[in-house]
C-alpha cells in the first residue's frame, strides 16, 4: 500500500473525525466507520443512494454523478460518496441517517493492514495409483508427494478411515488441506481456489464475526449479534458466578455462545458461494472469561484473588471439540490472553495497531464494564484493567441506556439550546455512554457543574437557558437534558447529581489507570504519540468531551486521538491470516507486563485525585 499524506476527514453533523493514511474512497471510509448509508448498486455509482454533502467543495463532479444528481444538488456540494476519492482534508455532511439495527454494533476497524502468510495450505495432488510393481500404501503415497517429505503430517483417525476409499472414488485427484502439520480435510478434485476462515470478536455484550478469504485476505461478510449470555449476567463477574453456582451453568453458557457462533456462521455464508466445508480455521479474540467459557473451561479462578486464568496461550483445538458446526477438524485458534482481566481482545488490539513494533509510544483503551488500558511501544508494554463500572454503558445512570434505538448518543451544548442525535432517528428515550460524556462536558463548559462535580443551584449559573434547566428535588440538583415534550415517553431526560458521581468514578478509574501505566513505564504524558480508542463505546465518543471531562489525561493532544473501531476482530483477522502475526502474539505476551491495580496504594491516590474535573 502506497503511503501518501495524512488526510483528515470530519464527518458531520456531530463530528466523527478520522485520519486516513492514504487516498480513500469515501463510501469505503463511511462503511468502515459503520455509518449506515445506502448503496444498492454496491458502490458502482448507479443507484444514487449514497448522497453526501462535501462542505469544502473541492471535488469535481464526474459523469456518474452528473446523471444522478440535480443541478441544485450539484451546486449545493452534494456528491455520491462512492464516486469521491478523498485526496485532502475533507468535511463531509451526512444527509440522512438510515434506520440502525436495534443495538449499535461495531465490526470494522480503521487503519489496519493485513498480511497473508497463513500456514493453512491446500495441496492439490494427482497421485499415481498404486500398482503391483509399486504397491505403496495410500498414506505413504500421499506422504511421498508432499513438497517437504521430511515433514510429518498428522492424519486424524476419522480421515484415515475414509482415506483409501476417497482416493479411489476421486481417481486419486484430491486436494489436501493442511494446517500446519495436521491434515484438516481431503477434498475431491482441485479446490485450491477456495479457502476461507473466520475472525470473531467474542465480547461480553456483542459477538461480531467476519468471513475471510484466506487466500487473499479479503473480508466477504460481517455480522454482529448480541451475546445472548446477557440473560445470565451482564458482566463477566456475573457470568463467572453463574457458571460456578448454577448446576450445569458452565455448559449452559458454553452452549449458548457456541450456538450463537454457529448461527452467525450460517448467516455469514448465506447468499455467498461458500459452504461451511470451505472454512478451515476460526480465529477468536475475546476477553479471558469469554474464551474460557467458549472452550468449556471453568473461569471461576479468574473471579477469585489472585485472579488467574487456566490458560493464557492455548494450542489450536478441533472444531468438533468445541461443538462448532464446521468441519470436525477445522481449527479453533484463540488469541492468547494477557491476564485474567486483559484478554485476547487486547492482544488483538496491540497486534492490529502494531503497538509492539511501533517506535512511538501508544496508549490503547478499550472501555466497557472494565476499561482495559495498554501503554507502550516496541520497547515494552504495560497494561491494566480498571473496574470502570458500567456507567459508560448507561447502567446505574438514572436516564442511562445502552446504545440502542432511542438513545441520545451525541450532544452539543449551544449557547441557548442543546442539540442531540438519537440512534434510529426517533424521539429520545434516554442517554447512552457517549451522550453522557457529551452532556457532562457540556455542563462543565456551560458552568452547570463545578470542578468538584457539583451541579450548581440555578442562582449560580450565568447562562439563562441552562439556569432554567436545573431543578432541585430530595436527591439534590438535577439537570434537564431533554424536556418532556420532546421525549418518546413524555418524561424529561435528566442527569442527576448521583449520575455525575457515577461518571466521575468511571472516568477517574480510567484516568488513574492511565496515570499508573505512565508512571510504571517511566515516561512523561507528552511522550504519548498515539491514543487508540477501541471498541463500541470508544468509537462513538467525542474526543473533545473525553478530554474535557478528564477521561483521558488533559496533556493529550486531541489530534493524537484515533478511533480505531473493532480492533478485536481486526486482530483476530490478522491472527487468522498470518503466521507471523501468530508468532508475534508470543512476543506481545513476553513484552507486556500486567499491572495489578488492586494492590497499588498509588492507584488509590491517583483515583481520588482524578475524581475532580479540574
- Write out the residues near a copy of itself by the rule CB under 8 A: 130-140, 152, 154-155, 157, 160-161, 163-165, 168, 295-298, 300-301, 305-315, 317, 321-322, 337, 339-340, 594, 596, 598-599
Which residue number, 38 or 158, has a Cβ lying nearer to a copy of itself?
A: 158
Minimum distance, C-beta of residue 164 to a copy of itself, in the bound complex (Å): 4
Strand partners, 131: 134
d(CA 193, CA 21): 32
End-to-end alpha carbon distance in the chain: 44
Minimum distance, C-beta of residue 482 to a copy of itself, in the bound complex (Å): 45
Residue owning grid cell 450548581: 456
| Residue 574 grid cell | 490478522
Minimum distance, C-beta of residue 251 to a copy of itself, in the bound complex (Å): 10
Q: Which of 140, 183, 139, 189 is nearest to 164 (CA)?
A: 139
Query: 3-state class of 356 per DSSP?
Result: helix
Minimum distance, C-beta of residue 267 to a copy of itself, in the bound complex (Å): 27
Minimum distance, C-beta of residue 531 to a copy of itself, in the bound complex (Å): 27
Indicate left, alpha or beta for 34 from its phi (over 0: left) and psi (-120 to 50: alpha).
left
Which residue number, 286 or 394, has a Cβ lying nearer to a copy of itself?
A: 286
Minimum distance, C-beta of residue 341 to a copy of itself, in the bound complex (Å): 10
| Residue 558 grid cell | 486531541
Which residue number, 174 or 363, has a Cβ lying nearer to a copy of itself?
A: 174
Q: What letter does residue 607 receive in the DSSP assignment?
A: H
Which residue number, 311 or 465, has a Cβ lying nearer to a copy of itself?
A: 311
d(CA 603, CA 385): 12
Minimum distance, C-beta of residue 291 to a copy of itself, in the bound complex (Å): 12
Which residue number, 52 or 342, has a Cβ lying nearer to a copy of itself?
A: 342
Which residue number, 135 or 248, has a Cβ lying nearer to a copy of itself?
A: 135
Q: What is the dihedral of CA 72, 77, 80, 86, to 10 degrees?
A: 160
Q: In what order do the strands lie in the sheet with 418-422?
A: 418-422, 407-413, 430-431
Minimum distance, C-beta of residue 195 to a copy of itself, in the bound complex (Å): 25
Which residue number, 337 or 504, has a Cβ lying nearer to a copy of itself?
A: 337
Q: 386, 513 in Cβ contact below 8 A?
A: yes
Those residues whose C-beta lies under 8 Å from the C-beta of residue 534, and which sit 6 or more positions away, are: 349, 364, 365, 366, 564, 565, 566, 567, 568
Q: What is the dihedral of CA 204, 310, 602, 237, to 10 degrees?
A: 30
Which residue number, 55 or 165, has a Cβ lying nearer to a copy of itself?
A: 165
Minimum distance, C-beta of residue 166 to a copy of itself, in the bound complex (Å): 10
Using the Cα atoms of residue 446, residue 452, residue 454 and residue 459 in order, give the sign of their dihedral: negative
Minimum distance, C-beta of residue 299 to a copy of itself, in the bound complex (Å): 9
Q: 285, 372 in Cβ contact below 8 A?
A: no
Which residue number, 70 or 247, has a Cβ lying nearer to a copy of itself?
A: 247
Minimum distance, C-beta of residue 45 to a copy of itself, in the bound complex (Å): 50
Which residue number, 263 or 598, has a Cβ lying nearer to a copy of itself?
A: 598
Orientation of helix 497-521 relative to helix 433-445, angle to 10°: 100
Residue owning grid cell 486482530: 571
| Residue 317 grid cell | 483445538
Which residue number, 206 or 288, has a Cβ lying nearer to a copy of itself?
A: 288
Taking CA atoms, 155 is separated from 38, 122, 187, 219, 239, in Å, by 48, 15, 14, 30, 37
Amino acid at each position: 500500500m502506497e503511503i501518501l499524506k495524512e488526510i483528515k476527514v470530519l464527518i458531520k453533523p456531530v463530528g466523527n473525525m478520522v485520519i486516513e493514511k492514504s487516498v480513500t474512497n469515501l463510501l469505503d471510509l463511511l462503511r468502515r466507520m459503520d455509518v449506515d448509508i445506502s448503496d444498492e448498486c454496491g458502490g458502482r455509482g448507479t443507484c444514487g443512494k449514497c448522497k453526501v454533502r462535501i462542505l469544502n467543495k473541492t471535488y469535481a463532479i464526474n459523469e456518474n454523478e452528473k446523471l444522478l444528481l440535480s443541478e441544485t444538488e450539484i451546486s449545493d456540494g452534494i456528491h455520491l460518496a462512492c464516486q469521491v476519492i478523498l485526496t485532502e482534508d475533507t468535511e463531509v455532511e451526512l444527509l440522512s441517517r438510515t434506520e440502525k439495527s436495534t443495538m449499535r454494533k461495531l465490526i470494522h476497524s480503521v487503519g489496519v493492514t493485513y498480511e497473508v502468510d497463513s500456514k493453512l495450505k491446500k495441496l492439490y495432488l494427482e497421485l499415481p495409483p498404486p500398482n503391483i510393481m509399486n504397491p505403496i500404501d495410500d498414506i505413504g503415497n500421499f506422504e511421498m508427494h508432499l513438497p517437504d517429505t521430511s515433514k510429518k503430517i498428522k492424519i486424524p483417525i476419522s480421515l484415515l478411515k475414509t482415506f483409501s476409499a476417497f482416493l479411489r472414488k476421486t481417481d486419486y485427484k484430491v486436494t489436501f488441506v493442511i494446517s500446519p502439520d495436521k491434515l484438516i480435510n481431503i477434498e475431491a478434485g482441485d479446490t485450491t481456489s477456495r479457502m476461507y476462515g473466520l475472525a470473531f470478536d467474542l465480547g461480553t455484550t456483542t459477538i461480531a464475526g467476519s468471513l475471510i478469504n484466506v487466500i487473499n485476505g479479503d473480508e466477504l461478510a460481517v455480522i454482529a449479534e448480541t451475546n445472548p449470555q446477557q440473560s445470565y449476567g451482564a458482566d463477566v463477574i456475573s457470568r463467572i458466578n453463574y457458571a460456578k453456582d448454577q448446576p450445569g451453568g458452565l455448559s449452559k453458557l458454553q452452549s449458548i455462545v457456541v450456538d450463537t457462533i454457529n448461527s452467525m456462521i450460517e448467516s455469514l455464508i448465506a447468499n455467498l458461494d461458500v459452504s461451511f466445508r470451505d472454512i478451515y480455521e476460526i480465529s477468536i479474540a475475546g476477553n479471558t472469561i469469554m474464551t474460557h467459557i467458549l472452550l468449556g473451561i471453568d473461569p471461576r479462578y479468574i473471579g477469585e484473588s489472585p485472579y488467574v486464568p487456566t490458560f493464557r496461550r492455548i494450542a489450536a483445538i478441533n472444531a468438533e471439540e468445541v461443538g462448532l458446526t464446521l468441519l470436525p477438524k477445522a481449527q479453533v485458534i484463540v488469541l492468547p490472553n494477557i491476564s485474567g482481566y486483559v484478554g485476547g481482545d487486547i492482544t488483538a488490539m496491540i497486534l492490529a495497531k502494531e503497538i509492539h513494533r511501533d517506535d512511538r509510544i501508544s496508549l490503547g483503551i478499550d472501555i466497557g464494564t472494565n476499561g482495559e488500558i495498554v501503554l507502550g511501544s516496541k520497547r515494552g508494554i504495560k497494561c491494566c484493567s480498571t473496574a470502570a463500572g458500567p456507567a459508560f454503558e448507561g447502567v446505574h445512570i438514572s436516564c442511562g441506556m445502552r446504545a440502542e434505538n432511542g438513545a441520545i448518543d451525541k450532544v452539543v451544548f449551544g449557547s441557548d439550546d442543546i442539540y442531540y442525535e438519537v440512534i434510529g432517528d426517533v424521539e429520545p428515550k434516554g442517554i447512552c455512554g457517549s451522550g453522557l460524556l457529551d452532556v457532562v462536558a457540556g455542563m462543565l463548559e456551560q458552568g452547570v457543574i463545578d470542578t468538584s462535580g457539583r451541579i450548581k443551584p440555578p442562582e449560580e449559573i450565568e447562562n439563562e437557558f441552562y439556569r432554567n434547566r436545573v431543578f432541585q428535588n430530595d436527591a439534590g440538583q438535577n439537570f434537564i437534558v431533554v424536556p418532556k415534550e420532546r421525549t418518546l415517553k413524555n418524561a424529561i431526560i435528566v442527569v442527576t447529581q448521583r449520575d455525575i458521581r457515577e461518571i466521575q468514578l468511571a472516568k477517574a478509574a480510567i484516568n488513574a489507570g492511565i496515570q499508573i501505566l505512565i508512571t510504571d513505564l517511566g515516561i512523561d504524558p507528552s511522550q504519548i504519540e498515539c491514543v487508540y480508542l477501541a471498541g463500541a463505546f470508544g468509537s462513538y465518543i467525542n474526543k473533545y468531551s473525553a478530554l474535557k471531562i478528564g477521561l483521558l489525561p488533559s496533556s493529550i493532544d486531541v489530534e493524537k486521538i484515533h478511533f480505531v473501531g473493532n480492533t478485536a476482530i481486526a486482530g483476530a483477522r490478522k491472527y487468522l491470516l498470518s503466521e507471523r502475526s501468530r508468532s508475534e502474539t508470543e512476543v506481545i505476551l513476553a513484552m507486556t507486563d500486567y499491572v495489578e491495580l488492586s494492590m497499588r496504594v498509588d492507584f488509590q491516590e491517583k483515583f481520588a485525585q482524578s475524581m475532580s474535573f479540574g
